[in-house]
Amino acid sequence: MNKVIKASGNKVEGYWAGLFCRALKGQDITKLLSNVGSAGPAAAPAGGAAAGGAGDAKEDKKSK
């Protein structure tokens, strides 16, 4: 894992590679990777709503 991180030009604290490897131990990596996009569309509307709300708060402060 550390070789991959170094080869990609990234730097992380030494303990992260071990934690990541332990988290994936016993997992079906193919299944995890094939399900990555399944939660994407459900999160998009919530993000849009949050962004709209933040804009309203800025307008309220200006109007006071």
Looking up tokens 């709503």, which residue turns up?
49
Q: Which whole number is the average pLDDT over 16-35?
A: 89
Question: Residue 5 has which token pair?
Answer: 């991180």
Portion of the chain with pLDDT greater than 70, in percent: 58
Is 23 a residue whose pLDDT tops 70? yes
What per-residue confidence (pLDDT) applies to 25? 92
User: CA-CA distance, 61 to 64, in Å (whole number)?
Assistant: 6
Q: Which SS3 state, helix, strand or coil, does residue 3 take?
A: helix
Q: Which whole number is the average pLDDT over 16-43?
A: 81
